[in-house]
Copies of this chain bind each other. A is one copy, B any other.
Amino acid sequence: MTFMQTLRQRWTDSGSLVCVGLDPEPAKFPARFEGDADAVFGFCRDIVDATAEYACAFKPQIAHFAALGAEAALERLVAHIHSAHPGIPVILDAKRGDIGSTAQRYAAEAFDRYGADAVTANPYLGGDSLQPFLERADRGVVILCRTSNPGGADLQDLEVAGPGSGTPRPLYQHVAATAARTWNGHGNVALVVGATWPEQLREVRAIVGDMPLLVPGVGAQGGDAEAVVRNARTADGTGLMVSSSRAILYASAGDDYADAAARAARALRDSLDAARRG
């Protein structure tokens, strides 16, 4: 099964649009992990096992492993998800982008070394920099379009005149249109659009048809989960991976951290589900 097939099947099987982000920050781990040399893997594994029922995808963020020198923990975590929770795709959040020959090495990092089903990628270097990811047709390429941070506006909202287009449009809409028209030849493209910009989610959805959108920014960043679903779900009520990291991972600093994470993931699933039925 390709990433896209796995994701669509998982939306159906789980009834959930929740993507659980895995951003390990040891300073926030429960006290029981103090002095545990394997804390990064152990904590993330516990969160994965507790939240899998409510997840349409898992999204480990690689900087949080790399800053700790915890590449081995990340390798084991992806393997654990695949073996313990088959059918839930893993998106490696790496936002890579480089010239083609280097991008090929980043594709090897994400897909071959870590075994990720999909990877996030940065479009600033253009189509040939995405090609080594795109040509892995069984994997997903989740391209940054309109990010959730305040500075996302700095470049992404600039009005650009598209070739042959009389009407200027924001850069992020140009990226969305190029992704749908040019980069999606293998049908394996998704886009990142932040929950903090519900209007822009609606505009991107209008451009890209039923292409999946990865939507960070609910919870800690202040995005409104219901507005995301109202503005950007597809006709069948899916099309969204609404990502939450800190609000799930660190729902409790006590010994009930796994149960608290499960409750937070379930609550987000339920509110997204209510919004798509409402």
Residues of A within 8 A of B (CB): 23, 61, 63-64, 66-67, 69, 71, 95-100, 102-103, 105-106, 108-109, 112-113, 122-130, 144, 147-156, 158-162, 168, 171, 174-175, 178, 216, 221
Asked if residues B144 and A158 are in contact (CB atoms below 8 Å), the reply is no
In the complex with contacts A23-B102, A112-B67, A150-B128, A158-B160 CB distance below 8 A = yes
Q: Which of B71, B96, B147, B216 contacts A95 (CB 8 A)?
A: B96
Give A158 to B155 CA distance when docked, in angstroms. Answer: 11
In the complex with contacts A23-B102, A95-B96, A67-B124 CB distance below 8 A = no
Give A61 to B128 CA distance when docked, in angstroms. Answer: 18
In the complex with contacts A67-B105, A67-B112, A151-B126, A159-B161 CB distance below 8 A = yes
Asked if residues B128 and A155 are in contact (CB atoms below 8 Å), the reply is no
Q: What are 15 A-B interface contacts by the 8 Å CB criterion?
A: A63-B105, A63-B109, A69-B71, A95-B96, A97-B122, A122-B124, A124-B124, A124-B156, A127-B151, A127-B154, A130-B151, A155-B175, A158-B161, A158-B174, A160-B160
In the complex with contacts A154-B178, A160-B171, A67-B106 CB distance below 8 A = yes
* Nearest B residue to A162, CB-CB: B158
Q: Interface majority SS on A: helix, strand, loop or mixed? A: helix
Chain B residues lying within 8 Å of A156, measured Cβ to Cβ, are 124, 126
Q: A245 → chain B, closest Cβ, in Å?
A: 9
Asked if residues A129 and B102 are in contact (CB atoms below 8 Å), the reply is no
* Nearest B residue to A170, CB-CB: B160
* Nearest B residue to A23, CB-CB: B102
Q: A142 → chain B, closest Cβ, in Å?
A: 13
Asked if residues B100 and A129 are in contact (CB atoms below 8 Å), the reply is no
Chain B residues lying within 8 Å of A162, measured Cβ to Cβ, are 158
Q: Which of B67, B129, B151, B158 contacts A125 (CB 8 A)?
A: B151
Asked if residues A126 and B102 are in contact (CB atoms below 8 Å), the reply is no
Chain B residues lying within 8 Å of A171, measured Cβ to Cβ, are 155, 158, 160, 171
Chain B residues lying within 8 Å of A150, measured Cβ to Cβ, are 126, 128
Chain B residues lying within 8 Å of A155, measured Cβ to Cβ, are 123-126, 171, 174-175
Asked if residues B151 and A109 are in contact (CB atoms below 8 Å), the reply is no
Q: A59 → chain B, closest Cβ, in Å?
A: 12
Chain B residues lying within 8 Å of A106, measured Cβ to Cβ, are 63, 66-67
